[in-house]
Chain A
Amino acid sequence: MQLALFCIFAAFTLAFGLGVVFFRSPVSSAMSLVMTFIGLAALFVTLDAFFIGVVQVLVYAGAVMVLFLFIIMLLDLRADQRRPVKLSAWAGGGIVVGGFLAILSQVVFSLPALEQTKPALANPAVNDVAQVGLALFRNFNLPFQVIGVLLLVSTVGVVVLSRRELK
């Protein structure tokens, strides 16, 4: 049952990931990316990471993708025109991606420690949100405050970058 669910969610995520890269229209790519994020949230839930799954849907699918779609609407992008395919560019890209996948599969299949199935939790009904919150505020309090400053800086930067020159 768990294996079937994992296969369904993994296939869903990878199929829409391919859709992001291969659709002509930017809106189709953006919607495929939303579905990819939702598939990833489902995979997070199968890994008992409920807080991260919900944050993924709220922040990525709910805020980041809305921002992308606003920009696509603002720039009024049309579907990509069919420009002639440069074979050298596609061959180069294919070699890089294929090389990465070869190295990855060699590493993953050579380590027996990676063949373990999910170990049973000491407490299957663990309060995920509380545990992540405790780890965040006990061990990582300073990076948390720095993240707040980072968000402020990025907001100011967006406002500065979007200004039109006043004549």
Chain B
Amino acid sequence: MRTKEDRIFQIIGNIVMIILSACAIIPFVLLVVSSLTDNDTLIRNGYSFIPEKWSAYAYEYVFKTGNSVMQAYGISVVLTMLGTVCSLTITTLLAYALSKKNLPGRGIMTFIVFFTMLFNGGLVPTYMNYTNTFGIKNTFWALLVPNLLANGFNILLMKSYFVTGVPDEILEAAYIDGASEFRTFLTVALPLAKPIVATIGLFAGIAYWNDWNNGYIYLTKRTDLYSIQNLLNRMIQNIQFLSQNSSNISNANVGLSSIPSVSVRMAMAVIGVLPIIIVYPFIQSNFVKGITLGGVKG
């Protein structure tokens, strides 16, 4: 039964959603188009959706001469893969242990995990701890370890999945059959928990790929360890700095010549988001499921 009112609602609803979807996507289109615009056209006409002259020069430039870009890209890839694997391992193992109802000390351990979500020492003590006690400043560890390896939210999310999604009886049966605890975990619990493992892996992977904080804070000298995000960040900062202090013209010219041209910067940004855009259609539904799980029971 479709009333007239219903049809109007469908039309307006679709229009609203088309506008919102366009707003979400348009900035990316501008980015991609700018990266494919001839650099002189860009400087003359500014960023535009319909450039006067197209050019793939920026990409050629990045692939031919962009050693630092490729290196940063490599670091981002290694960091994301390593980080995701480590994070998943740590999170899954702890979550599984915490899901065992009869484990002595489970309550207090869960509280220790949970409390990290309520109270946070903040940047200064964390920075002091990692630089003074662990000395990870200007090492690869600085990208991998601080704040990203595991967090209370993911651990508890996974724990509750183990509790509700992996029935005790099945684990018990495997155990009685003579399988060790670890074997039970690997062969029985883990396959049943696949959806949540995929979701948490996704959260971790995205967090590592997008992270710029750790490199920005801890890599003060070793810019050769920069991830692609850090490299992009430093570039745009240099430009801002120069345009704000351009009273000193000779200085600005010297600086500008060492900064890649506008279209090259845009090409680098495109390369920086590309992995997310490519995997997005495949991960999207899993991501939504994960958020729903987290929202229902935070």
Q: Do A and B truly interact?
A: no
